[in-house]
């Protein structure tokens, strides 16, 4: 194909349409406004494309539910406060086992926060702000190319498992421009048919899609059914990337844009002879606990760096289960640290632990 | 005057008595027996009455007002 | 003699869980009759509410998709935009549509979404035990307005249909009641007209139906329909609030 220079938010929208997304329901909120803006134009150029700017993020997630019930590939996007509003909808999407893709371009928080990039929605995405026992696949891109690839794949994952996939980006990824190779357009006809949708009971008995199961015995079984699905996903859809971990004495754990900053820091440190490596979770749920535990066999020093006050670090702690020592460094509120700063903090830890 | 008759499914009846209140010929009464759910169901009395003037005309007002779709109406 | 009245095909043969004298089951039957007469059973998708009618999918023999409390208009919007040639209807209570779902309802009307909303107004939150609703009238006693709704503490009831008739996207808004056989037949006509408006792509259609809740009004069914006809209609007057068809396509 060839690469195009494109802004992150636009990449997400274009990749979605190429993946067969024909229904987008959204609402303006910085720093993802370019997604609804792009979709409002782009969906008019494809057959059956539907764009609605809804009256709120609550309304837009429920429109997603409706269009997903009808069998379509659907997406919505927002940032922190809007994703908070969508939580009930996410719980329903999971209970109803409806495929959907939700994009969060995280900003500083909590509350109204600011419009600068942050990573403080990790808990919200992986632990879920919605009620009940459910999980969503959470993917954390760290470049515009990954925004394209992961958004594109999200729709296949959503359909395959009848699950909601959250693309956890941030304000910086959404706004930055990088050269991207866009994926090819999918033909909707080639997609496997869905035999559970509600489209009018022509030629078959009527059916309904619902999450209210009053009998506790049946509700329990429904929960186990969901758990079995989540266990399958936990085995098959874990993703991560390692960088200079073969001989590392200290392993940095970072996701998303923080991982790119960390890579810059590690390049500096490697030039100075420090043996530091990085493991970058790409799927935040399912979390690459196994891969992290494997690395603990090489070294017990882990340095978790996130742009928040400490969220992914808890999953690292759980993964290590006492097999390593963790130092946490975080900068919340929309601050984007530079590689030099992270390099200094890592090297200070490195020397304090007397690593050679 | 058209003539008619109704059939009430006593097991569906919940004794709301709306049919009794709308029948223009007062041909429905509350039974003194209970159905399986414990309701005194509505009963069509035409067959048990001897008076000539009270006859069902199949107006279906009872069926229209019945919330349980418990009444079927025949007219001929 | 031939049978002139029986259960509609699109209503399953199931025992209604509604209370004796409840308006819901009458309205369910009317919708079923309309779906049968218009022959749209295999093209209709319904959205039930949270509320007493949450289990509507056990009664309607059409595809149905659950919405969370208040969001039926948004779910219906998603469905209709994805399936423009199907008939999409929502079935909502007064709390669902005029409290938590007000924004979604008003915006669906403002956008002129081609959906039909059946708004069952019984002035209380039935399923949760009879609390005050946006359409509880002043002086009406409910479990959260014991002794009667007071303006100072509880504010005034909402006349949603009047508000919706202001939206240019609304094509047909009518308020009816299911207290008397005559009104029940008028309600059926209104529902049929609303579906016809949707089929002709004219915009948003809504039928507000005053319905009785004998249990939470603490009356027996006969008293309940009488209260509806004597008192409730004074605050929620029956009639057509908006009709862009000019009366031309009245239901057959």
Question: Rounded to whole angstroms, how far apart are CA atoms C158 and C134?
Answer: 6
Cβ–Cβ < 8 Å for C21, C212: yes
Q: What percent of chain A has pLDDT over 70?
A: 100
pLDDT tens digits for A203-232? 999 999 999 999 999 999 999 999 999 999
State the DSSP H helix or E strand holding residue A287, giving kind and residue range, or none if neither: none
Q: What is the second-level CATH architecture of the domain C23-243?
A: 3-Layer(aba) Sandwich (3.40)
Under DSSP, the state recorded for A131 is S
Give residues with Cβ within 8 angstroms of A38, minimum separation 6: A9, A10, A13, A14
Residue A84 shares a structural domain with residue A126: yes
The pLDDT value given to residue C133: 96
The pLDDT value given to residue B48: 67
The answer to whether C78 contacts A199, with C-beta atoms less than 8 Å apart, is no
Cβ–Cβ < 8 Å for A11, A5: no
The answer to whether C184 contacts B65, with C-beta atoms less than 8 Å apart, is yes
The pLDDT value given to residue B54: 74
Contact status of C182 with chain B (Cβ, < 8 Å):
no
Q: What percent of chain C has pLDDT over 90?
A: 97
A residues 170-209 closer than 8 Å to C (CB):
198-203, 206-209
**A2 vs A323, residue with greater confidence:** A323
Average model confidence (pLDDT) across chain C: 95
Residue A125 shares a structural domain with residue A160: yes
Residue A152 shares a structural domain with residue A60: yes
| pTM for this prediction | 0.93
State the DSSP H helix or E strand holding residue C50, giving kind and residue range, or none if neither: none
Residue A340 shares a structural domain with residue A218: no
* CA proximity to A74, closest of A107, A58, A52, A45: A52
Cβ–Cβ < 8 Å for A248, A298: yes
Cβ–Cβ < 8 Å for A192, A186: no
Mean pLDDT score, C153-165: 96
CA distance C80 to chain A (A): 8
The pLDDT value given to residue B46: 77
pLDDT tens digits for C202-233? 999 999 999 999 999 999 999 999 999 999 99
The pLDDT value given to residue B55: 87
Residue A199 shares a structural domain with residue A326: no
CATH of the domain at A252: 3.40.50.920
Please state the domain count of chain A: 2
**Among C47, C64, C74, beta carbon nearest to A54:** C74
CA distance A87 to chain C (A): 12
Residue A116 shares a structural domain with residue A183: yes
Question: Rounded to whole angstroms, how far apart are CA atoms C111 and A59?
Answer: 13
CATH of the domain at A171: 3.40.50.970
Domains, chain B, ordered by start = 4-75 (3.30.70.20)
Using a CB-CB cut-off of 8 Å, the residues of chain C touching A55 are 103-104, 106-107
Question: Rounded to whole angstroms, how far apart are CA atoms A155 and A178?
Answer: 23
Give residues with Cβ within 8 angstroms of A205, minimum separation 6: none
Q: What percent of chain A has pLDDT over 90?
A: 98
Residue A226 shares a structural domain with residue A257: no
- Answer with the one of A236, A260, A293 that is the final residue of a domain: A236
Residue A222 shares a structural domain with residue A246: no
Query: Tokens 């509609």 belong to which residue?
Result: C8
Cβ–Cβ < 8 Å for A127, A161: no
Residue A230 shares a structural domain with residue A257: no
pLDDT above 90: residue A288: yes
Mean pLDDT score, C118-144: 96
ipTM above 0.95, yes or no: no
Best A53, A56, A59 member to test C by mutation, with max C CBs in 10 Å, is A59
pLDDT above 70: residue C124: yes
- Phi and psi at residue C139, in whole multiples of 5°? 90, -10
Question: Rounded to whole angstroms, how far apart are CA atoms A276 and C121?
Answer: 67
- Answer with the one of A217, A236, A255 that is the final residue of a domain: A236
Closest CA in chain B for residue C26: B67
* CA proximity to C185, closest of B21, B9, B59: B59
- Answer with the one of A205, A236, A267 that is the final residue of a domain: A236
Cβ–Cβ < 8 Å for C242, C169: no
* CA proximity to C206, closest of C78, C87, C105, C74: C105
**C50 vs B2, residue with greater confidence:** C50
Residue A229 shares a structural domain with residue A255: no
The pLDDT value given to residue C252: 40
What range does the domain containing A292 cover?
Answer: 241-352
Q: What percent of chain C has pLDDT over 70?
A: 98
State the DSSP H helix or E strand holding residue C210, giving kind and residue range, or none if neither: strand C204-210
Residue A15 shares a structural domain with residue A164: yes
Residue A115 shares a structural domain with residue A259: no
CA distance C2 to chain A (A): 29
CA distance C64 to chain B (A): 21
Mean pLDDT score, A73-98: 97
Question: Rounded to whole angstroms, how far apart are CA atoms C23 and C19?
Answer: 9
The pLDDT value given to residue B50: 61
pLDDT tens digits for B35-60? 999 999 999 987 666 665 678 999 99
């Amino acid at each position: 194909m060839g690469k195009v220079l494109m802004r992150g938010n636009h990449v997400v929208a274009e990749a979605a349409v190429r993946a067969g997304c024909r229904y987008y329901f959204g609402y303006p909120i910085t720093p993802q406004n370019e997604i609804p803006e792009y979709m409002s134009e782009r969906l008019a150029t494809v057959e059956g494309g539907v764009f609605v700017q809804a009256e709120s993020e609550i309304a837009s997630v429920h429109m997603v539910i409706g269009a997903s019930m009808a069998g379509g590939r659907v997406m919505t996007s927002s940032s922190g406060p809007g994703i908070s509003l969508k939580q009930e909808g996410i719980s329903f999407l999971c209970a109803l086992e409806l495929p959907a893709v939700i994009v969060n371009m995280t900003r500083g928080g909590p509350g109204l926060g600011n419009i600068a990039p942050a990573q403080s929605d990790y808990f919200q995405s992986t632990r879920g702000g919605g009620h009940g026992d459910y999980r969503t696949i959470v993917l954390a891109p760290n470049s515009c190319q990954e925004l394209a690839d992961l958004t594109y794949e999200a729709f296949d994952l959503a359909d395959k498992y009848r699950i909601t996939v959250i693309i956890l980006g941030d304000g910086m990824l959404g706004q930055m421009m990088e050269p991207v190779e866009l994926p090819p357009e999918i033909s909707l006809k080639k997609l496997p048919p869905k035999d559970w949708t509600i489209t009018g009971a022509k030629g078959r008995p009527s059916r309904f899609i619902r999450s209210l199961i009053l009998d506790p015995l049946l509700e329990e079984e429904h929960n186990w059914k969901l758990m079995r699905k989540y266990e399958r996903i936990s085995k098959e859809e874990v993703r991560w990337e390692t960088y200079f971990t073969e001989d590392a004495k200290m392993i940095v754990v970072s996701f998303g844009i923080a991982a790119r900053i960390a890579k810059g820091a590690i390049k500096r440190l490697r030039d100075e002879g420090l043996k530091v490596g990085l493991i970058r979770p790409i799927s935040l749920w399912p979390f690459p606990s196994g891969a992290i535990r494997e690395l603990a066999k090489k070294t017990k020093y882990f340095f978790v760096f996130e742009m928040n006050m400490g969220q992914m670090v808890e999953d690292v702690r759980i993964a290590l289960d006492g097999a390593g020592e963790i130092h946490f460094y975080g900068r919340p509120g929309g601050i984007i640290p530079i590689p030099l700063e992270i390099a200094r903090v890592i090297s200070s830890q490195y020397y304090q632990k007397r690593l050679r | 005057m058209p003539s008619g008759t109704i059939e009430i499914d006593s097991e569906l009846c919940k004794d709301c008595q709306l049919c009794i209140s709308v029948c223009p010929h007062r041909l429905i009464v509350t039974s003194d027996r209970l159905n399986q759910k414990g309701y005194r169901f509505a009963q069509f009395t035409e067959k048990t009455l001897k008076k000539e003037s009270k006859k069902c005309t199949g107006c279906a007002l009872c069926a229209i007002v019945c919330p349980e779709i418990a009444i079927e109406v025949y007219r001929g | 003699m031939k049978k002139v009245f029986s259960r509609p095909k699109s209503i399953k043969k199931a025992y209604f869980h509604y209370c004796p004298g409840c308006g819901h089951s009458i309205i369910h039957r009317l919708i079923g009759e309309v779906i049968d007469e218009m022959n749209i059973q295999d093209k209709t998708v319904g959205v039930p509410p949270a509320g007493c009618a949450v289990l509507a999918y056990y009664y309607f023999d059409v595809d149905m998709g659950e919405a969370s409390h208040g969001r039926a208009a948004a779910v219906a919007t998603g469905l209709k935009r994805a399936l423009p040639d199907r008939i999409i209807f929502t079935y909502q209570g007064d709390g669902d549509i005029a409290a938590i779902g007000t924004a979604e309802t008003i915006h669906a009307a403002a956008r002129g979404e081609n959906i039909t909303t059946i708004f069952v107004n019984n002035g209380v939150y039935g399923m949760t035990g009879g609390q005050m609703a946006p359409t509880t009238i002043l002086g009406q006693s409910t479990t959260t307005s014991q002794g009667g709704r007071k303006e100072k503490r509880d504010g005034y009831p909402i006349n949603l249909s009047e508000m919706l008739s202001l939206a240019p996207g609304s094509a047909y808004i009518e308020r009816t009641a299911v207290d008397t056989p005559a009104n029940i037949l008028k309600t059926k006509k209104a529902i049929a007209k609303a579906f016809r408006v949707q089929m002709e792509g004219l915009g948003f259609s809504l039928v507000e139906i005053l319905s009785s809740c004998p249990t939470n009004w603490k009356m027996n069914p006969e008293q309940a329909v009488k209260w509806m006809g004597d008192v409730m209609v004074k605050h929620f007057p029956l009639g057509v609030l908006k009709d862009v068809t000019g009366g031309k396509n009245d239901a057959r």
